[in-house]
Structure 1
Amino acid sequence: MSGRKGRRLLLIPLPVQGHINPMLQLAEILHSKGFSITIIHATFNSPDPSNYPHFTFSFFQDGLSQTQPSDLLNFLVEFNVKSVDPFKDCVTKLLRTHEAEEEPVACLISDAICYFTQAVADNLQLPRIVLRTSSISSYVAFLAYPLFRQRGYIPTQACILEEEVEELAPLRVKDLPLIKTEEPEKYYELLSNLLKETKGSLGVIWNSFEGLESPALKKLSKEFSIPMFPIGPFHKYLSSSSSSSSLISQDQSCITWLDTHTPNSVVYVSFGSLAAITETEFVEIGWGLGNSKHPFLWVVRPGLIKGSEWLETLPSGFMENLEGRGLIVKWAPQQEVLAHSAVGAFWSHNGWNSTLESICEGVPMICMPLFTDQKVNARYVSHVWKVGLQLEKKVERGEVERIIRRLMDAKAQGKEIRDRAFKLKEEAKVCLLQGASSYSSLQALVTYILSFH
C-alpha cells in the first residue's frame, strides 16, 4: 500500500445496490493509493460500516421512505430535492472537524445521479469529481436525448422501434435508454440536470476501460472539456476477500452446488437488484430453463416477480421434476459465481456492473434488458462486442429454450461467441497492468486529485 497522502476524500453514492457497489470499490482503490476515505451516505439503504473499518462513515437523514423504490424516476427526483440541506449540513460539519484540519479534504467524489451535490460543492468551494456507474456508450446515448425528442422518438411508437438511429449505430429506437413513464418531461429534466452538473464537475471517473469503449470515450471527450478517467474494471483491483457491499444476504451454498458441475455447463440467471418481471414471464423462463436440459442457477430475489412473494407461481412439482438440475436462490455472490469454471452462460438484465463482471470472466451472455442504459448495454454485448445473444421476442418458453441451446452449443455460433468472450476477458486483464490504459488512468486521477491543494 502507498504511504498515506494526508488527504481525505469524501464519497457519496446513490443509495441503490448497483451504485453503492462501484462507489465502495472505488473507495477501496483510492484508499490503497494512500487517501483517507469518508463515505457520506443517506440513511436509506445504508451499508454496514463494520464491513469497512478503514473508512469513516457519516450519515445524513434523507427523509425518504425505507422501502425499496417502486417508482425509480420519482425516487431519483425526490432524493435530489430532499437531500440538499441535510447533505450540506453533513459536509459542513465534516469540514470543521479536527480530522479535516489534520487531513485536508481534497475533493468530493459524487455519483453523477446525485447532481444536487454540485451546488453544495460550489457553495463550500469543494472540488467535485463524479463517478458515472454506467457504460460510456450508454452515456453517449443519454447525451443525444434532445435529438430523440426532435426526431419524434418520444413517446416511442411501435412502427419505428426497429429503425436504426444513424448517429448512434448500431442502436435502434428500441435500444435507446428510455424509461416507461407517464411523466416523460420529468425524466427529461432529470437527465438535463445530470448532464449539466456532470459537465460542471472537474472530471468523470468511469468503471470501464479504453479497449472496450474507445469510440464512445473519444466522442465524449469532444463534448466535455473536463478530463475523463476510465480506470475500470474496479472489482479486479480488489482481492476476492474484500468486503461485500451487498444489501441482501448472499447464499453461499450455490458455490458448493456449482462445484459438482462440469466446466461451462451451467446457465446462471440473475436480473439484478431493482428489476421486476410478471408472473407469466417468470413461469415461461422456468419452463424454458427446464426444457433446455442444461443445469441452471437462478437468482429469484423477493420482489422480482410482480404480485408474488417468491416462488409460489412455479407449477407444482417443477423443481422435483428437474432431478437436481436446477437451483434457485434469493441472492448469490455474483462475482464468485461468474468466476466459477462451471458457469457457461449468464442470462442478465445487463445492468453495467453485471455486464462488466461477465466480460471480465469471459462468460457469454443472454441479454434481457428491462430499462434505460441496460438496453444500450445489451445491444453492445450482442452487436458490437458480440459476446452474447439478445432475447428480442416475447419471453416464451420455446424461445428461451432455443436461445440457451444456441449459446451453450460447443460448436457453431456458441463457440464463436465463447472465443470472443475469452479474448475480451484477456483485454480486461491487460488494461490493469503497469503502463496499460486503466493503470495509467488511475495514476493520472491520483495526480489530478493531489493538484487541488
Structure 2
Amino acid sequence: MKQRSVPHLLLLPFPAQGHINPMLKLAELLSQAGFSITFLNTDHNHERLTASPRLRFQTISDGLPPDHPRSGPLLQDIFFSTQLVTKPLFRDLLLSFPQDLPVTGIIADGIMSFAIDVAQDLGIPIFIFRTFSACCLWAYRCIPKLIEAGDLPFEGHDDMDRPIKSVPGMETLLRRRDLPSICRLKDLENPVLQFFVYETFNIARASGLILNTFDDLEAPILSHIGPHFPQLYTIGPIHTLLKTRQGDTQPTDASNGSLWEEDRSCMAWLESRPFKSVLYVSFGSLVVVTRDELLEFWYGLVNSGKPFLWVVRQDLIAGNDGKGEIPAELEGGTKERGCMVGWAPQEEVLAHPAVGGFLTHSGWNSTLESIIAGVPMICWPQLADQQINSRFVSEVWRNGIDMKDR
C-alpha cells in the first residue's frame, strides 16, 4: 500500500513583528497537528528570528535594499515592494520545491494577498490569516461606506468626537478619533489607503479567512463579517491555544517569534515586587515617540510612586531625538523602583502575579495577551488598528481606559 504523503503548508507572514508572532504560533500548532511546515521569512528578518527545529525556514526578498530602515513611516514601502518584487520570486519559489515535497497549501498574511494570484495560478489552495482584530477588519471593509456617507475624508483634527454611524454594528460606538489611522488620510486616492481597501476586499478570493480572535469577544462584529467570508475560522487567542496544546510539554527550543532579543532579567526583578503592584509599559514593535513624549511618560512613571517595568526599544525614539542628558531625578526614581529593558518576554510578564496594569499601544497581540492574563489596560493608541482596539477595550469589553478620551 502506498504511504500517504504528509501535507506540506507554506506560511507567508507580513515581515513585521506583530504579524510574524501569531503566524509562527500558527505554524507550531499546525506542525503539532502533523503538517509539514515551511515558514517563509524575508532575507532581512531571517537572522533576527530564532528558528524552531520542527519547522523548515526559507527566505525571500522583500524588494527593499539592505540599508532600508523598514520602520516608522517608511515601513509602508514594503506594501508596494512585495507586490512588485516578491510576487514573482514567490512563484519561482513554489515551483522550486522537489516533487516529493510539493507545497499542498498556503497560508498568507492578510496584507500579502498577491499570494492569492500566485496560488490560484498554480492550483494551490490558499487561506488568509488576518492578524488583527475583527472590529478593525470590519472597519476597513466599511471604508467605501464611510466615503459614501461623507464620513471620509475629514480635515486634520477638527471635531474628532463627531459620531460615525456608517459602520454596521458600531453605529453608537465610533467617533472619528476611533477609526483606524489610515482613515485620517485626507486624500482618498492616497496609495496607502487604496492598498488597505484593495487588500481587504481581495482576501475574499481565498479559500478561507483565519482570524486571531474568539467568538465570545467579538461575536457581534463577526456576525457582520461572516456573510462576506463564508469560510471564516476564529482560532484565537492563538498564544493561549498553543500553550493549551503544548500543556506541560512545551519545548524549550520553541521560537518566541521575536525579532528582538528578550532581556529576561526583568523576570527576576518582578519576583521581588508585591502582588499586583507593577505597571508594565510597552508600546510594541513599531510605535516611535519623540524625546519630549518619552520624558513626559518617564516623569509620570517616576512621580506615580509605583514600581514600573518599561520596554524601551533601541529604536523607540524618533530619528536623532534621543540624544541628551537624562535628568537626575528620573535616573534616581528609576533606580529606586523601576526596571527598563530593550525587549521583554511579554506573555510571561503579563502572567506574573506582580503585574497589576499595562500601559499599552493597543496592538492586537498585546490586547489579547492582556485580556487573557486579566491585566487592565491604559491604552495609548497610535497607528493602524490601535485606535479602534482601544475604543473596544474601554467601551465594549470594559477592561481598560482609553487615553485618547482624556
| TM-score where L is the length of structure 1 | 0.80
The 1:243/1:41 distance shift into structure 2, 3 A limit, reads closer
- 2:87 is aligned with 1:89: no
Superposition map of 1:144-223 within 5 A? 144-150=142-148, 151-166=150-165, 167=167, 168=170, 169-179=172-182, 184=188, 185-223=190-228
Q: Is the 8 A contact 2:22 2:238 kept in 1?
A: yes
Superposition map of 1:277-292 within 5 A? 277-292=289-304
- 2:271 is aligned with 1:259: yes
The superposition leaves residues 179-238 of structure 1 with CA deviations (integer Å, 9 ceiling, x where unpaired) of: 3657652123212321232110011111111100101111101233x3111011111123
Aligned equivalent of 1:130? 128
The 1:84/1:287 distance shift into structure 2, 3 A limit, reads same
The 1:62/1:322 distance shift into structure 2, 3 A limit, reads closer
- 2:343 is aligned with 1:331: yes
Aligned equivalent of 2:282? 270
Return 312-321 or 160-169, whichever deviates more: 312-321
* Structure 2 residues without counterparts, runs of 5 or longer: none
Cα deviation, residue 341, structure 1: 0.5
The superposition leaves residues 135-173 of structure 1 with CA deviations (integer Å, 9 ceiling, x where unpaired) of: 111111111111222314314443331022123241211
Aligned equivalent of 1:74? 77
Superposition map of 1:2-81 within 5 A? 6-46=6-46, 51-66=51-66, 67-70=69-72, 71-81=74-84
Inter-partner Cα distance in structure 2 for 1:195 and 1:204: 11
Q: Is the 8 A contact 1:319 1:326 kept in 2?
A: no
Equivalent residues, number? 385
Cα deviation, residue 385, structure 1: 0.1
Q: Of 140, 143, 163, which aligns to 1:142? A: 140
Return 246-255 or 49-58, whichever deviates more: 49-58
Aligned equivalent of 1:417? none
- 2:305 is aligned with 1:293: yes
The superposition leaves residues 292-324 of structure 1 with CA deviations (integer Å, 9 ceiling, x where unpaired) of: 111000111011111347584532341214452
Q: Is the 8 A contact 1:210 1:230 kept in 2?
A: yes
Cα deviation, residue 372, structure 1: 1.9
Q: Is the 8 A contact 1:49 1:57 kept in 2?
A: no
The 1:313/1:200 distance shift into structure 2, 3 A limit, reads farther
* Structure 1 residues without counterparts, runs of 5 or longer: 395-453
Aligned equivalent of 1:245? 257
Q: Is the 8 A contact 1:261 1:342 kept in 2?
A: yes
Letter paired with 2:139? A
Inter-partner Cα distance in structure 2 for 1:243 and 1:133: 18
Aligned equivalent of 1:383? 395
Q: Is the 8 A contact 1:279 1:307 kept in 2?
A: no
Aligned equivalent of 1:231? 235
Q: Is the 8 A contact 1:13 1:20 kept in 2?
A: yes
Q: Of 353, 373, 379, which aligns to 1:361? A: 373
Inter-partner Cα distance in structure 2 for 1:26 and 1:5: 21
The 1:176/1:5 distance shift into structure 2, 3 A limit, reads farther
Return 364-373 or 74-83, whichever deviates more: 74-83
Inter-partner Cα distance in structure 1 for 2:302 and 2:363: 25
Letter paired with 2:80? V
Give the aligned CA root-mean-square deviation in angstroms: 2.1
Cα deviation, residue 82, structure 1: 1.8
Inter-partner Cα distance in structure 1 for 2:335 and 2:96: 59
The superposition leaves residues 21-70 of structure 1 with CA deviations (integer Å, 9 ceiling, x where unpaired) of: 10000001111111110112221212667631111122123331333333
SS class of match (1:158): coil
SS class of match (1:39): strand
